[in-house]
Structure 1
Amino acid sequence: MVRRNMEKFTNVMQWGKLLLPLSSIRFYPPPFVLRNPVLEGVTSAINDGCEVAVLVFNIKNMNELSEELSQSVFLHFKKQIKKFFRIAVELEIEKQNVITLHDFYGDSLTLYIKVDDARLCLSEIDSLMKKITSLVERSLHKHYPSIQPIFVTGYMFVEKKYYSLNDSIERAHRQAIAMAEKRVKSEFNEMVFSVKRIISKKDIILLAQPIIKIATKEICALEMLTRGPKGTLLESPLPLFSVARQTGMLYELEMIVIEKVLGQIKATRCRQDIFVNCTPLTLGNIRFTRDLKNLMQQYKGISAKQITFEVTETDSIEGLKNFIYNLKMLRLMGFRIAMDDTGAGYSSLSTIGEIMPDIIKIDRSVIQNIDKNSLKESMLKGIMLIAREAGSLVVAEGIENEEEASVLMRHNVDLAQGYFYARPSALVNSMAT
């Protein structure tokens, strides 16, 4: 009877929490169906312009401890863990920055905190987790000197841009657990978040490099080149796109690049042809043509005929189901296709037959010192022959001196770009005209 009354009292207390303000259910809120305190708190933080970090604390050897200890000791041990974590969190984090600390998912504890974007530093998050864990370990050792729990931690940030904030919260939680179970170096973790931040803020810089008609030295097109935020590790395009690719954010980054290119064309009233690099992974994405149509609708007045998509040759197109179909759709829409880096990467010459590009860009590895290397000159002749058969224009990349330029002129190469002609610079009205 007493036990039944206690259970009834506990249930009433749990349901009674539905009526409490969010600040009163920060710590270990019950998993409500009618109310989601995590979603409420995260939504409020994001509306305030803050980032939300998901911190996971897990005991790696929990199963072994459950087998070593009696049931009563083990249950008391778990209860004490929750108590000590709450104390540690209250000591280390300002109250207004704690969204929730809960134990909804198995043996791990998950802490959601609000972080001021202006002061965000991932190394501080790392340090905070270590301090909390250390405080808990010391408290546990004092009460259970013979028990040695092994803590593992991980963290991730909630993506604001995700189509469903609730899904974004769950996704960030899964990623944080994955990091806890297989710890990633904080330096790499910081770059992961940096890419997410670049995408969410569209924080990239575009430079334009002229493409020159060799016979007349006229500017006939511009290639748009991407840089990350100035002064950061991801300023250079190689680490920027490399991290984006490894973390599954390449498509989002490349779509931001296309959007920014269209914005600059409109802002400068550019009338030159514009070249934009795109990987086969993005061009073969099932969403690509639909998303591109939506972007073109946003920037009405820009003709698809003005845009050439350069297919970078750092990827193999094999196994990309929608790649060739999407290229056909792009051509029907009026876009042109160029094949970048010909002469380097995967089976360039055989790929030409599949893509049938409007423009073939010869990689700088072929052009460099071509005036001193007869084998490279023979390679140039071969690519020129294939281009003529395919009906493609040829652009030579990476021209750095007059001697290299003279070889290209001798072989009637159509177009060229490189520091010998012009360095990349911001797209401005004077360049556009």
Structure 2
Amino acid sequence: MKYQENVYSRLFNWGKLLLPVKFIKYFPPSFVLRDPIIHQVEKAMKNGYEVTVVVIDITNLHRIKQQLEAQDFLDYIRFLKKSFRAAIQSLDVSNEFMAIHDYSPNSLTMFIKWQQGTECLSLLDGLIKSIIHNVERVFRETGRVQPVFNPGYMFIEKKYTYLQDAIQMAYELALAMAHKRSDTEFNKLVHVLSDIVANKRICLLAQPIMNVATNKIHACEMLTRGPKGTALENPLQLFSLARQTKFLYDLEMIVLEKAFEQIQQTRWRHNIFINFTPVTIGNPRFIKDIKNVIRRFKGISPKKITIEITERDSFEGLEHFTNNLKVLRMLGFLIAVDDTGAGYASLNSISEIMPDIIKIDRSVIQNIDKNSVKESMLKGLLLIAKEVGSVVVAEGIECAEEASVLSKNKVDLAQGYFYARPTSLSDHLQIS
């Protein structure tokens, strides 16, 4: 009987060779002739997505194994995998979720794709927490031994010679993040990032925000890059690591300081957008630290600076967030909300923050010239902005056809590769 079960299992796994990739995303077998995960990752990256490797380490699995009989432990693992599958399916993330695998005996590994942009970090955090919460609830309800989860994640580097090597590197870094203090690789990452923060080894690029009516530069958004030629040059790698190692606040304050330095050096006369997460804005040190920067750069008026709230983190629990926003406005800073139109959370934040500027997410703008529903969404968001008294910036414009829809609908400002790619702030002085 046991032999027959093994034969059936092997035949079933080999039979998966013939199935479409979408049917083998849950714990696929490792094939020599065909690796469905590599195929999925390659396809997603060719279509412009960022791909994250998420490792969820089960820290007490070895102890659970010691407590259970061999067959009971196998049943426990099957139930664990089934619970993760159900948790993922219940969250309706089929567009983002790519696969889950058990590469390591003590962890599960997920592959998730995202639209480009650092704003996906808070969504990723929220998704991981929701999946773990749902699995933990199932174990509580069934009375089974509760697994203890410790997640880590890292984005797959797009600059690679062999994709498999890039995936392996992201997996190892994500595993180190999941293991945290017990892992040598994690300590290396912390050392590298602490050196970047201590020596302020980042650079800023600027991308113009254009006046749609005049086609002239209205402002520039400052975009962060890590040390050139390193794995942390990519901002997603840099900020995801900072978020998981508690360096996020220090990193964002360095960005603020570097932005003021560039404004002073170039004598930039237009507005500058600087990105901040709600966690940083809600930090009790934030106002004191930002006032110190203003004092250091006395010639730069806060009225020329827009604080752009970049991620859809919940404001709940951030005791100082609302008060800090009030102080920022009193100091003269403008407030912008990013990713509007990407979900309920961003629309809800408009009513709470009442921003001076609303940035419409690229998901609304992409192919808007070919999609009447998206144009209707744009019109609705413009009405909301008018009610709030906000200026509108449309993000992610990549062609003349999309730009013409903005012009037709009298959108105030626009940003995207159609107008200019990120470069140094001084480069934009010549055309401003």
TM-score interval for Structure 1 and Structure 2 normalised by the shorter chain: 0.5 to 0.7
CA deviation after TM superposition for structure 1 residue 184, in Å:
2.2
Bigger drift between 202-211 and 377-386 goes to 377-386
Go from structure 1 to structure 2 and tell me whether the alpha carbon gap of 1:374 and 1:200 turns closer, same or farther (over 3 Å shift): same
1:262 & 1:316 partners in 2: Cα distance? 28
- Tell me which residue corresponds to 1:401: 399
SS in 2 for 1:293: helix
> What TM-score, normalized by structure 1, do the two folds share?
0.57
Change (3 A) 1:297 1:346: farther
Are 1:329 and 2:330 an aligned pair?
no
Residue number in structure 1 paired with 2:272: 274
| Equivalent residue number for residue 378 of structure 1 | 376
Which of these residues, 216, 225, 228, is aligned with residue 227 of structure 1? 225
Equivalent residue number for residue 340 of structure 2: 342
Q: State the one-letter code of the partner of 2:365.
A: I
The code of the aligned residue for 1:329 comes to V
Correspondence for 2:282? 284
Q: 1:185 to 1:297 in 2, by over 3 A?
A: same
Distance 1:411 1:181, change over 3 A: closer
Shift of 1:242: 1.0
- Please report how far the alpha carbon of residue 313 of structure 1 lies from its aligned counterpart in structure 2 after TM superposition: 2.8
* Counterpart check, 1:318 vs 2:316: yes
For the 8 Å contact 2:219–2:273, the answer to whether it is kept is yes
Residue 222 (structure 2) pairs with residue 247 (structure 1): no
Q: How far apart are residue 269 of structure 1 and its match?
A: 0.8
CA pair 368-185 structure 1, distance change in 2 beyond 3 A: farther
Determine helix, strand or coil for the equivalent of 1:371: helix
Work out which of the residue numbers 198, 201, 217 in structure 2 matches 1:200: 198
Would the aligned equivalents of 1:204 and 1:228 in 2 still touch at CA under 8 Å?
yes
Distance apart, 1:194 and its partner CA: 1.7
Judged with a 3 Å threshold, the aligned counterparts in structure 2 of structure 1 residues 293 and 182 are, in CA distance, closer, same or farther, namely closer
AA of the residue aligned to 1:184: D
Q: Cα offset for 1:213?
A: 0.4
TM-score, scaled relative to structure 2: 0.57
> In the aligned structure 1, how far is the partner of 2:359 from the partner of 2:216?
18
Q: 1:288-299 residue pairs with structure 2 within 5 A?
A: 288-299=286-297
Q: In 2 relative to 1, CA 249–406 (structure 1 residues): closer, same or farther, beyond 3 Å?
A: same
Distance 1:308 1:236, change over 3 A: same
> Contact 2:312–2:345 (CA<8 Å) still a contact in 1?
no
Give the corresponding residue for 1:31: none
What's the secondary structure of 2:258's corresponding residue? helix
Aligned-partner Cα distance in 1 for 2:259–2:178: 35
Amino acid at match of 1:416: A
Equivalent residues of 1:316, 1:346 under 8 A apart: no
Q: How does 1:11-410 map to 2 (within 5 A)?
A: 183-184=182-183, 186=185, 188-344=186-342, 347-410=345-408
Specify the alignment match of 2:423 in structure 1: 425
Give the CA RMSD over aligned residues: 1.9
Alignment size in residue pairs? 255
- Measure, in 2, the Cα distance between the counterparts of 1:261 and 1:345: 30
Q: Structure 1 residues 283, 179: closer, same or farther in 2, change over 3 A?
A: closer
1:430 Cα deviation after fit:
5.7
Cα deviation for residue 192 of structure 1 reads 2.1
Matched to 1:239, the amino acid is Q
Counterparts of 2:282 and 2:400, CA distance in 1: 39
Measured at CA, do residues 243 and 182 of structure 1 come closer, stay the same or move farther in structure 2, by a change above 3 Å?
A: closer
Q: CA deviation at 1:377?
A: 1.5
The verdict on how the C-alpha distance between 1:202 and 1:278 changes in structure 2, with shifts beyond 3 A counting, is same
Percent identity over the alignment is: 62
Report how far residue 190 of structure 1 moved: 2.7
SS in 2 for 1:226: strand
Matched residue of 2:307: which SS?
strand
For 2:281, give the aligned amino acid.
L
Amino acid at match of 2:291: K
Structure with greater Cα Rg: 1
* 8 Å Cα contact 1:359/1:393 also seen in 2: yes
| Structure 1: segments with no counterpart, 5+ residues | 1-177
